[in-house]
Amino acid sequence: MSKRNLPKVNVSARPGVHSDISPRALQRWAPDVRAAEGDAGASISVLDPIGADMWGDGVTARRISAALRSIGDRPVTVNVNSPGGDFFEGLAIYNILREHSQPVTVNVLGIAASAASVIAMSGDEVRIARAGFLMIHNTWVLAAGDRNAFREVADWLEPFDRAAADIYAARSGISAAEVAGMLDRETWIGGQAAVDQGFADGLLPADLVGTADADSASASIRAEKKFDLLARRAGLSNSASREILAELKSARTGAAPDGAPGAADVAQGLQKLLADLKSF
């Protein structure tokens, strides 16, 4: 379908309310999955959580806009493997891709969960790996306040859930009311099911899906990023999570020949911390 037939969504922010990542999406996300080497053409990668994080990483509307300016007036491929994140940032990215003047092809390489699934709907053509997944649910947020504040937040969120339902309905042809029920129960849609239900146009050839190099340094970085996301979910502040990482690295001193901790040792320790945090 043409992305021109997809609805545009008005995005607004609310102070004190922040989107969050579903625990199941974070656990099922494999950060190593990406487009295979040699994938030609103009492309944009959505391979991190949506929204800026404390590392300065993350997929933001500003970065997508900059990438499209660099690509210019040409067709673009968007490769997606993300657990979601900032839903409102995801809606902004969806709007940007929807308005691109040339055809947009979306490849769901691994998972496109929550905010990332909204982004995935923005293509003229959507392809998904046979082992890939879409995950759709109502807007997840973190907020603080009394019961009156939470009632106001719930009322404020309703239009965004309706907007998401309208997007998925426009793409799939399923009624908005039925999609709303899928959002209520957090629905995971596998590759073939996504095609059968109209969320995707076809399966992605297996040779277009690859994995990052599994060197120990990159493994450590990926483990640290997952730790950071789960630490925030567990209620740890940025400074507290940084202190834990520093203590872990200090405890591993001597694992490498130069006296610095070996990346593999740090990654192993972080994986243990991740397992502990997942039990919270």
pLDDT digits (tens, 9 = 90+) for 102-131: 999 999 999 999 999 999 999 999 999 999
* In a shared domain, residues 203 and 250: no
Q: Are 189 and 135 in contact (CB under 8 A)?
A: yes
Structural domain ending residue among the three candidates 181, 211, 241: 211
* In a shared domain, residues 274 and 139: no
How do residues 219-257 score in pLDDT, each as one tens digit?
Answer: 555 666 666 666 666 666 667 767 777 776 666 554 444
Global confidence as pTM: 0.78
* In a shared domain, residues 57 and 195: yes
* In a shared domain, residues 149 and 70: yes
* In a shared domain, residues 159 and 64: yes
How far is 50 from 208, CA to CA, in rounded Å?
Answer: 23
* In a shared domain, residues 107 and 232: no
* In a shared domain, residues 116 and 153: yes
* In a shared domain, residues 115 and 47: yes
* In a shared domain, residues 124 and 232: no
Domain of 125, in residue numbers: 3-211
Q: Which of 57-66, 256-265, 271-280 is least confident?
A: 256-265
Cα 16 from chain centroid (whole Å): 21
* In a shared domain, residues 251 and 271: yes
Residue reference for tokens 């039925």:
178
* In a shared domain, residues 191 and 221: no
What is the count of structural domains for the chain? 2
Structural domain ending residue among the three candidates 155, 186, 211: 211
* In a shared domain, residues 206 and 252: no
How far is 247 from 134, CA to CA, in rounded Å?
Answer: 37
